[in-house]
Amino acid sequence: MTSPAQLRRLHFLNALFAPLTGQDLYLAQQIDDAIRTTLAEDVERAPNDPDFVQAAAALFAKLCQTHASHGFYHFDAAADPTDGTPLFARANLMRGLKQLALCDEATVLVTNLRAAHTPASGRWSARRERDYGDTLDLLRHLTAARTRRGANVNLLFL
């Protein structure tokens, strides 16, 4: 029996590693086991746990280095307090899209965007929800507009 956190991790790993594994859930389970054994303590980790995300992104980046036709870019919006704003999110995404311009297939992983829009008090207002939605739309449209025709780019938000 799988726990809800493990099921969410498997869905995240299946979405992230799908271009290289062909959406094989057995391989997603193997990748989950490998990542959990590399982390220091054996605790139940959610898919948005920063250590788990960093380990998965590092493993995926290594796999993409061996597959020259598939590129990878990870944008962590919580790395800088201003990265969640539309201007800096756009600049970071453009930096990644420039790196991936020559790849036939690519994956862009955007993490902590919602956390970057959440204030220190933790209150989530209608205005913040609208700003977050606008930033998501901006990143989606920018990715569609700035990738070359025929390229297959997977844009994942976590």
Q: Which residues contact 55 (CB under 8 A, 6 or more apart)?
A: 35, 38, 39
Q: What is the pLDDT of residue 91?
A: 92
CA–CA dist 61, 23 (Å, integer): 17
Query: In the chain, what are the domain boundaries?
Result: 1-47, 68-157
pLDDT in tens, the chain (158 residues): 567 777 788 888 888 887 767 777 788 888 888 887 777 665 566 666 778 888 888 888 888 887 777 888 999 888 887 777 888 889 999 999 998 888 888 889 998 888 888 777 777 888 888 988 999 999 999 999 999 888 888 898 88
Q: Going by C-beta distance under 8 Å and a sequence separation of 6 or more, which residues neighbour residue 156?
A: 15, 16, 107, 108, 109, 110
Please report which helix (H) or strand (E) contains residue 121, including its range: none
